A and B are shown apart, each in its own frame.
Chain A
Amino acid sequence: KQEVTQIPAALSVPEGENLVLNCSFTDSAIYNLQWFRQDPGKGLTSLLLIQSSQREQTSGRLNASLDKSSGRSTLYIAASQPGDSATYLCAVNTGFQKLVFGTGTRLLVSP
């Protein structure tokens, strides 16, 4: 059974720092991996999707990498801002469009 783990569970950094969020999964047979952002009490906003054949995807200050063989993905946030404060979730597509989610990393960026 696929399990997704995100470490750390919470992270607090000062504004301007570059930071890395980690996601690991137990079964490398995935179709793609998706990173989401969730603000308190709100739904999920899709940030990046990496297909299983890709190594990385970039969008603005965000860069996500995927190493399928080792079951790892990282989300790199450059020059963090207070507006980046949110919970970040990763999810792997195991087939039939099913996503298995990690429990998230809660990020706080202080001014």
Chain B
Amino acid sequence: AAGVIQSPRHLIKEKRETATLKCYPIPRHDTVYWYQQGPGQDPQFLISFYEKMQSDKGSIPDRFSAQQFSDYHSELNMSSLELGDSALYFCASSSGTGNYGYTFGSGTRLTVV
């Protein structure tokens, strides 16, 4: 079965650079979520989109922005990167609000040096 696809798997950036993470949801899933997991931490919700509109917002820095496109894939754009942005970034997708659970991608490991 198709899963949530995230790219790239690994990314190394320097401070103050920009990074773009991509997420391709499971086919027919209309909701996409982004989470950030710092080292030794639990995943923290950043933002979600339902039918290409922002549906919920968590602790996402102003330096980050995201959107969901017409094909339902989503991109997380991160500017002016800081060392503290180094983390594992997960995307998840679901149908609606995920009452039947939602599926996470394998994550993008971002390292800021």
Real binding pair: no
